[in-house]
Amino acid sequence: MLDFTQRIIGALKLQPAVYEEVEADKGATKQALAIVVISSVATGLGISRTSSLASLAVGALAALLGWCIWAGLTYLIGARILPEPQTQSDVGELMRTTGFASAPALFHLLARLPLIGAAVSVAVSVWMLVAMVIAVRQALDYKSTGRAVGVCLIGWLVYVAIAAFLGNLSELR
Give residue limits of the domains in the chain.
Answer: 4-171
pLDDT tens by residue, 72-81 = 889 999 999 9
Distance between terminal CA atoms of the chain?
50
**Angle, vertex CA 34, rays to CA 31 and CA 36, nearest 5:** 110
The backbone torsions φ and ψ at residue 90, rounded to the nearest 5 degrees and listed phi first, read -140, 170
Mean pLDDT of the chain: 87
pTM for this prediction:
0.86
